[in-house]
Amino acid sequence: MDDLAGVITGLGALHCSGRADEINDAARSALVHARESAAAVQALHELLGSWMRDVRG
């Protein structure tokens, strides 16, 4: 999540500077990080759900 926060902070700085190409690249990077984070959370949710079903029998 620190990487995502850094990307978002960088987006703000680039926006202020008016560099459109760099803003687009940073936005794409932020989207990739968000998707990766969402996938990791989903996998953890599924793993914990499976573990809870096993524990409860």
Q: Return the higher-pLDDT residue of 1 and 19.
A: 19
Q: What is the DSSP string of 1-57?
A: -HHHHHHHHHHHHHHHHT-HHHHHHHHHHHHHHHHHHHHHHHHHHHHHHHHHHHHH-
Q: Return the higher-pLDDT residue of 19 and 41.
A: 41
Q: What is the pLDDT of residue 26?
A: 77
* pLDDT over 70 at 2, yes or no: no
Q: Indicate the pTM of the whole model.
A: 0.51
Q: What is the pLDDT of residue 5?
A: 73
37 CB-near residues (< 8 Å, 6+ apart): 1, 4
3: nearest Cα among 43, 37, 45: 37
Task: Report, as an integer, the average pLDDT of 29-41.
Answer: 88
